[in-house]
Each structure stands twice: as structure tokens, then as C-alpha cells.
Amino acid sequence: MLQIDAIFSDYDGTLSPFAVNRDNALVPRPLYKTLSIVSKKIPFCIITTKTVNYIQDKIEFCKGVAGIGGLEISIGAKMIYPSVSSHTRKSILTVFDFARSVMHDMKDVLLEEKKTAGGELLGFTVDWRLSKNWDSYKEVVRPLIQKSKRDGLFVLTYRDHPFFDVYVKKPDKGKALIKLKKELRINGNILYLGDSENDSTAFEKSGVSIGITREEVKPLLNCEYLLPYDNLNAALRTLVKNNMIFDPVLLNLKRNSTYDYTSDKQ
């Protein structure tokens, strides 16, 4: 049996409900209470593509938060930022202004800034999920994607999802996990919770990986275990009762049939 020494988790869709207004997505009360109990026993951290400010407004007991996919890391009063050239800093501002002008009249497109706690723009998301015709917007945003790439920015597009992200450099949740682990001097096993493909690198770097599932979406998750969102609170409560000793049967976890159990981790 494995002792869990820390829990790291994604936020959007993993702890917060999926199909709600993304700006107001809160962790349901019972789950929030359980996480707060967990945080009194072992370190609890968030690794998210949202910003540190967004998370700190919603959860007050995190030991550390990696925001913008790990491009900003907050541990207590300490903030860690990546080195970004002045050219790239200018590029993201220029491209963001361009995006704002292109999207100006489009009421059903959301332009979400990803600003650090210090106010610096490190990325943005263009999201047209509220529009009726997702395919037509793919054409509208194409010049913006091309300009972002030309200007040396990192662009993340998705096969099915009606949005794309632009960053000053490639975000990596796995690297963020390692950084938080080192900064917090955690030597033991980290349990990681995530719900989408962008959690892959963090799943790889964790000791125990659990994918949170839902009926609505079926992403390919490279985690060892699967757990329906509605059962997450009960599983975490059981883990607390079991003194943080991990037992997949007790926690009611399903083995992930698409996971390669022969690959080496860490």
C-alpha cells in the first residue's frame, strides 16, 4: 500500500463542475470541505491553466498554485516566473490587441486574458463555445493563429474544442508539478487529479494518477485510474479516513484500460 504525501490537482472540470459559466465555476461545498481537511494533513496544490489570482479567490488553503499551465507559480509570498524575452513580451501585447480588434463586434466570442498576479500578460484564450456555428469561427480565427505563430508565440489548438490558447512559451503542467514538489520539499508520493489531455505531463510525473470522468466528454487520459466526478468527494473522504494510505479498491477506482502500465514513470 502506498502512502500519499501530497495531493496536486487541476481545477477546471476536475474540482469545479464542467458545464457552467467558466468565470464562476466554484468547487461544490462538500468537496471544498473535504479538500480543506486534506490540506490540514498533507500539502494540497493546484496546477491549472487559469491564473493564480483566479484560484486564490476561490480556494484559500493551497500550499502552492501553478497558474497559466505553470508559467506562474505561487508558494506563499514567493512568485516564480519564466524568463521571457522583451521581444516576446511585446509580441503577446501586439497580438492580443489584434485579437481584441478582430473580435470586437463578436458578442459570442470570449477573449480571456491570462495575466500574472503582477499584471503581466503571459497568454490569452479565444473561446467561441457560445456561438451557434463553431465551424465558421475556425475560419475567422485562422489569421490570428497564424499571426501568433509568426510572432514566435506558442499556440495550442484543440481538435474538437471551440477555443485556442496563445502563450509566451509552452506551458507544461508536469514541469510545474516537479517545481512545486521541489520548492515544497515533498519527497514522497504525489497523487494527481486531472480531467483532460493538458494534464498528461502531470499524470506522468505523479506517483498516483487519477482521471476524473464525465458522461459528456471522453478525452484520452494517460492516467492509471479513472473516477467519475460525482464520486470524487467520497473517494477523498475514504483516503482521509484511511490515513492517506492509497488503496484503489477501497477508493472505488477503475483501472484505465487505455493506460500503458508497462511504461516507466518518474
Binding site for Mg ion (CB under 5 A): 10, 12-13, 195-196
- 72 or 195: whose CB is closer to Mg ion? 195
CB of 112 to Mg ion, least distance (A): 15
- 103 or 191: whose CB is closer to Mg ion? 191
DSSP, res 233: H
CB of 188 to Mg ion, least distance (A): 25
- 26 or 84: whose CB is closer to Mg ion? 26
Measured CA to CA, the distance from residue 140 to residue 50 in angstroms comes to 25
By beta carbon distance, the residue nearest Mg ion is 13
Q: For 76-110, give the DSSP string.
A: TTEEE-----HHHHHHHHHHHHHHHHHHTT-TT-E
- 96 or 192: whose CB is closer to Mg ion? 192
Q: Helix, strand, coil % (nearest 5) of the chain?
A: 35, 25, 40
CB of 147 to Mg ion, least distance (A): 27
Relative to beta strand 44-47, strand 2-9 is parallel
CB of 154 to Mg ion, least distance (A): 19
- 26 or 140: whose CB is closer to Mg ion? 26
CB of 40 to Mg ion, least distance (A): 25
- 9 or 233: whose CB is closer to Mg ion? 9
- CA-CA-CA-CA torsion sign (53, 230, 36, 179): negative
Could you give the maximum distance between any two Cα atoms of the chain, in Å? 57
CB of 215 to Mg ion, least distance (A): 16
DSSP, res 159: S
